[in-house]
Amino acid sequence: MKKVLVTGGAGYIGCHTVVELLNHDFIPIIIDNFSNTDERILQGLEEILGFMPIVYRTDCTDYKAMHEVFSLEKPDAVIHFAAFKAVGESTAHPLKYYHNNIDSLLVVLRLMDEFNVNELVFSSSCTVYGQPAMLPVNENCPPQQATSPYGYSKQVSEQIIIDTCAARPQLKCTLLRYFNPIGAHPSALIGELPYGIPNNLVPYITQTAAGIREKLTIHGNDYSTNDGTCIRDYIHVCDLAAAHVKALEWLSGQSNVCEAFNLGQGKGNSVKEVVDTFVRVNNVAVNIEIGPRRSGDVEQVYADVSKVKNALHWQTERSLDEALKDAWKWQRHLTQA
Ligand code: UFG
Distance between Cα 59 and ligand 1 center (Å): 27
pLDDT computed for residue 75 by the predictor? 98
pLDDT computed for residue 286 by the predictor? 98
Distance between Cα 199 and ligand 1 center (Å): 7
- Out of 200, 204, 226, 287, mutate this one to test ligand 1's pocket (max ligand atoms within 8 Å of CB): namely 200
pTM for this predicted structure: 0.97
76 contacts 119 by C-beta, under 8 angstroms: yes
pLDDT computed for residue 134 by the predictor? 92
Please identify every stretch of the chain with a pLDDT value under 70, giving residue numbers as ranges.
none
pLDDT computed for residue 120 by the predictor? 98
| β-bridge partners, 172 | 119
**Model pLDDT for residues 270-282, shown as the tens digit of each residue:** 999 999 999 999 9
Phi, psi of 2 (to 5 degrees): -80, 135
* CA dist 75 → 4, 105, 323 (Å): 6, 16, 32
DSSP character string of 97-166? HHIIIIIHHHHHHHHHHHTT--EEEEEEEGGGGSS-SSSSB-TTSPPPPPSSHHHHHHHHHHHHHHHHHH
Amino acid residing at 63: Y
CA 167 to chain CA centroid, Å, is 27
232 contacts 8 by C-beta, under 8 angstroms: no
Distance between Cα 118 and ligand 1 center (Å): 34
Atom 30, ligand 1: residue with shortest CA distance: 127
pLDDT computed for residue 337 by the predictor? 74
Cβ count within 10 A of residue 158: 21
Is cis: bond before 28, omega within 30 of 0? no
Sign of the C-alpha dihedral, residues 86, 91, 93, 98?
A: positive
- Out of 150, 233, 271, mutate this one to test ligand 1's pocket (max ligand atoms within 8 Å of CB): namely 271
66 contacts 111 by C-beta, under 8 angstroms: yes
